[in-house]
Chain A
Amino acid sequence: QQNVQQSPESLIVPEGARTSLNCTFSDSASQYFWWYRQHSGKAPKALMSIFSNGEKEEGRFTIHLNKASLHFSLHIRDSQPSDSALYLCAVLSNTGYQNFYFGKGTSLTVIP
């Protein structure tokens, strides 16, 4: 079964900082990688995805994927207080059932 781990568990950064969130997975055949953001008391909402090795940028957010290292990350440039939320990484497993496996999340707090 897919094992997805996130680090750090929590992070406090000042407004304007660059923030990096990490996710590792265990199934080298995984093909789809997503980041979701969940504000307190709200539904998780998809932020960004990447399907092949490399980097993808959308506004202040960048995803890096390195399948050989079983690692992908989310980088937030110019962090804003509105970015304060739980960030969940999700990996689609290709072994057994094709379902997403989520990490336990990184709780990000951006201080004004």
Chain B
Amino acid sequence: ETAVFQTPNYHVTQVGNEVSFNCKQTLGHDTMYWYKQDSKKLLKIMFSYNNKQLIVNETVPRRFSPQSSDKAHLNLRIKSVEPEDSAVYLCASSYGTGGYEQYFGPGTRLTVL
């Protein structure tokens, strides 16, 4: 049963465009994450957001930015996409930071032409 929802499922765009992806969780969790899963299936943390505190992976380019209206929503904006941004973007949530189980959404597949 899905409790972490992501839209859209797929998005195709051209280099330089701006894109936004949405994520909503109905689990009552207070921590949300964005991961990037590349073509080799490697999952890399991009952001975590807990109690309005944003933790950023320092390797994430500045064109990526998370946006949150409340603890149930964490969106991802990419200002000017580049070909290497093509990947699956996975949203996740958990009860808190630390070793808690993370619940993942189905992902948004981005293709940059």
State whether the Cβ of B98 lies closer than 8 Å to any Cβ in chain A: yes
Q: Are A44 and B57 in contact (CB under 8 A)?
A: no
Q: Which residues on the A side are within 8 Å of B101 (C-beta)?
A: 34, 46, 49
Contact residues of B between 37 and 60, Cβ < 8 Å to A: 40-45, 48, 55, 57
CA distance A65 to B40 in the complex (A): 26
Q: Show 9 residue pairs from A and B whose CB-CB distance is below 8 angstroms, ordered by the A residue.
A: A32-B99, A43-B104, A43-B107, A44-B104, A46-B103, A51-B99, A97-B57, A99-B45, A100-B102
A residues near B, CB below 8 A? 31-32, 34, 38, 42-46, 49, 51, 86, 88, 92, 97-102, 104-105
Q: Are A105 and B41 in contact (CB under 8 A)?
A: yes
* Cβ distance B1 to chain A, nearest Cβ, rounded Å: 11
Q: Nearest CB to that of A102 among chain B residues? A: B43
Q: Are B55 and A99 in contact (CB under 8 A)?
A: yes
Of the candidates B97, B104, B106, the one whose C-beta lies within 8 Å of that of A98 is B97
Q: Are B40 and A97 in contact (CB under 8 A)?
A: no
Per-residue CB proximity of B72-113 to A under 8 Å, as 1/0?
A: 000000000000000000100000011101111111000000
State whether the Cβ of B4 lies closer than 8 Å to any Cβ in chain A: yes
Size band of the interface chain B makes with A = 20 to 34
Across chains A and B, which 10 residue pairs bring their CB atoms closest together, nearest first?
A32-B99, A43-B104, A102-B43, A46-B101, A99-B45, A105-B41, A44-B104, A104-B42, A43-B106, A92-B99
Q: Which residues on the B side are within 8 Å of A51 (C-beta)?
A: 99
* Cβ distance B76 to chain A, nearest Cβ, rounded Å: 16
CA distance A31 to B100 in the complex (A): 11
CA distance A56 to B97 in the complex (A): 23
CA distance A34 to B104 in the complex (A): 14
Q: Are B41 and A32 in contact (CB under 8 A)?
A: no
User: A99 and B4 in contact (CB under 8 A), knowing A31-B99, A43-B107?
Assistant: no
Q: Nearest CB to that of B91 among chain A residues? A: A43
User: A100 and B41 in contact (CB under 8 A), knowing A43-B90, A43-B107?
Assistant: no
CA distance A98 to B96 in the complex (A): 11
